[in-house]
Amino acid sequence: MIPREVHRQLRAAHAEGNYAPLLALIPYAGLIGIECSRQGEDLLFRLPASPDNIGNPLLPAIHGGVIAGFMELSAALYLLIFSESAAIPKIIDFSVDYLRAGHVRDTYAQCQLWRQGRRVTNVAITAWQGSQAEPIATARAHFKIEELSPPLK
Amino acid sequence: MAQAQRFLSALRHCQLLGMRVEQSDAEGMTLVLPYSPNIVGNPQTGAIHGGALTTLMDTTCGMATLCVLPVFEVCPTLDLRIDYMHPSEPGKDIYGYAQCYRVTRDVIFARGMAYQDDPQRPIAQVVGTFMRLGKAVKGGQGFASQLKESAQ
């Protein structure tokens, strides 16, 4: 369960647009180097270019698993901030389509909450590098959440 | 087996995660992802993040193509779907197993699972599609011969 105090911290983080303390709680977030910033009412996720994330030495390109992990983590953080779930959202399934090679440059992701039920949510994630109109991957995920009060967004 | 290990050691992110080849034969591929506090996704439970699991399974499915192709081909992932059956238990290594169940001229279909102690109780099921780029990919042939030479 997420303590009430943590919900308060989440709202404060979103109000200030400072998500670093939240990310610092998740070791995997630090491993791949994900960052999060506020864009109006939305969230923009960034995965800075890092040689440690390479999975294809020929191109070279970012490992598909890292791109998927970045997108899944983006979706979970998005839900953590925008859905007042009583528990940390639990991933049920995740499906990713790779559209272009992810070169070793900064990668961005944005999420869209298509459906928020009482128990399950459906989130779509788009990841891109140069232009948002040319995504390198699209994904969608189902998360299990626990009882919500009205969402912030 | 040696070729598989060679291949895996060329993937920097997999090295970062400490992944290694457990078993490789004509049937399929088994890789190991050692447990590490670095890849935890839920600090409350110590369960590893789905991203690390996806990396394990994308790599395992992708490398399972080595089991069915007569010569090395670069096979990037077209799509991948993961169903999470159970959260992983902290402190225990994760095994990824995958096999290719259909090979066509352009595409390879692979499926697999991730488990800790018991393959009968997987923590995730995976299915993915991989594109065959053939031998004539820039750098691909050199990479293939590197794999072969070091295997001998």
Q: Mind listing the pLDDT tens digit for each residue in A23-39?
A: 999 999 999 999 999 99
Q: Does pLDDT of A149 surpass 60? A: no
Identify the pLDDT of residue B51. Answer: 97
Q: What is the pLDDT of residues B74-83, one digit of tens each?
A: 899 999 999 9
Structure-block tokens of residue A126: 């788009």
Starting at the edge strand that comes first in sequence, how are the strands of the sheet with A35-39 ordered?
A35-39, A42-47, A107-116, A120-128, A135-144, A90-98, B77-84, B124-131, B107-115, B94-103, B29-33, B20-24
pLDDT of residue A87: 79
Q: Write down the pLDDT at residue B74.
A: 86
Tell me the pTM: 0.93
Q: A72, B51: Cβ pair inside 8 Å?
A: yes
Domains and CATH numbers, chain A: 4-144 (3.10.129.10)
**Res. B151 pLDDT band, cuts 50 70 90:** very low
Minimum distance, in Å, between the CA of residue B10 and any CA atom of chain A: 7
CA B130/CA B112 separation, integer angstroms: 13
Q: Name the residue with higher pLDDT: A89 or A72.
A: A72
Contact A28 B38 (CB under 8 A): yes
Whether the complex's predicted ipTM surpasses the cut of 0.90: yes
For tokens 């040319």, the residue is A134
Work out the angle at residue B127's Cα, subtended by the Cα atoms of residues B35 and A51, and round it to the nearest 5 degrees. Answer: 50
- pLDDT tens digits for B108-147? 999 999 999 999 999 999 999 999 988 766 677 777 777 7
Cβ-Cβ contacts under 8 Å, A87 against chain B: none
Fold category of B2-151 in CATH: Thiol Ester Dehydrase; Chain A (3.10.129)
Please indicate whether, in this complex, the C-beta atoms of B50 and A69 are within 8 angstroms of each other.
yes
Domain map (residue ranges) of chain B: 2-151
Min distance B124 CA to chain A CA atoms (Å): 9
CA distance B152 to A82: 55
What the block records as the tokens of A74 is 């983006």
Contact A27 B84 (CB under 8 A): no
**pLDDT exceeds 90 at position B149:** no
Amino acid at A121: T
Report DSSP state, residue B138: T
Distance (Å, whole) CA A94 – CA B127: 11
For the cut 50, the answer to whether the pLDDT of residue B152 exceeds it is: no
Residues of chain B in contact with residue A95, where contact means CB-CB under 8 angstroms, are 79-82
Rounded mean pLDDT, A55-75: 96
Partner-chain residue, chosen from B11, B52, B84, that has the shortest CB–CB distance to A93: B84
The per-residue pLDDT for range B4-44, each reduced to its tens digit, is 999 999 999 999 999 999 999 999 999 999 999 999 999 88
What residue spans of chain A are helical by DSSP H? 4-16, 20-23, 27-32, 64-82
The fraction of chain B above a pLDDT of 70, given in percent, is 95
**Higher-confidence position of A22 and A52:** A52
